[in-house]
Amino acid sequence: MVIFGLVIEHNKSEIFHFSRAHNDSNPELDLSVIGASTLKPKTYWKYLEFYFDRYLSFKKHVWYYSTKAFSMVKVIGILRNSSRGFLPLQKYFLYCFCVVPIATYGFRLWFFTSAPTKAQVSLLVAIQYKTALWILGAFHTSPTGEIEALPGLISIHLHLKKLVKRFCLRTATLLSQHTLMSLLSAKHSKGASPHPQSLALLNNTQCARLKGPLLDTEAFLLNLTECFNPLHAETTSGCRLLDSFPDCISFHPCNCSSLRDCKTHLQSLDHL
């Protein structure tokens, strides 16, 4: 195998046991029949920066990235200098662009319809509450709803629902050769060959028992009336609106420092 450039990494040859038996807290796989010792599965398993537990609740995954995001909120304050701190708007942008992507990393693994997400969302709520206190400099006894509304932070569960809707909408723009298309039903697969575990090959009983992000995508695509073509001619270079009608579109840069100057500039454009 070394001749062909193939090397076995024994640290990656691990066994992991997924079980739905919640009454068994520490199952063991007895392989003494084949001469091996008794194997005890790990409590969680890290693969591609995702943390899987035996019951696929992803509590470890959310806890890890919530802790990482909370640590970032703590250390962001080091960026300010000794004479001036961050403005509330700057704190808001730092949270949206640096903290939220980390806290919601891989959320589609555990956030879908009929999934128990109360424990996972509560960790994200705690992070956003601490961030809102940091942005406003408010007291720790301030109510959660009001302290999030003042800096303009959307509730974390509503933010997750918005991201889910964007994810489903992005699925409609994928090419037929994309791997995800082979997992959808025949109506939304765009002619892709079905995967052995795709929704197109499952009967009604199996679909009723199935839970996962794919069902959310299917339900969203059923209500989608627009058609998306990622390779449309109008999106190619030379056929865009600015390329076809360059003389009909003009840009007027405005360097107005006040609202009154901006209104004066817009009124001057109306007379052109």
pTM summary value? 0.70
Helices (H) and strands (E) in the chain, counts: 10, 2
Q: Using one digit for the tens of pLDDT, what is the confidence trace for 41-56?
A: 678 888 888 998 888 8
Query: pLDDT grade, residue 33 (50/70/90)?
Result: very low
* First-to-final CA distance of the chain: 75
**The pLDDT of residue 102:** 93
**Residue at 72: amino acid letter:** M
d(CA 69, CA 99): 5
**H/E element, 45:** strand 44-47
Confirm if 266 and 256 have CB atoms less than 8 A apart. no
Q: Using one digit for the tens of pLDDT, what is the confidence trace for 146-192?
A: 888 888 899 999 999 999 988 888 888 888 888 888 888 888 888 88
Mean pLDDT of 99-126: 90
Cβ neighbours of residue 264 closer than 8 Å, sequence gap 6 or more: 256
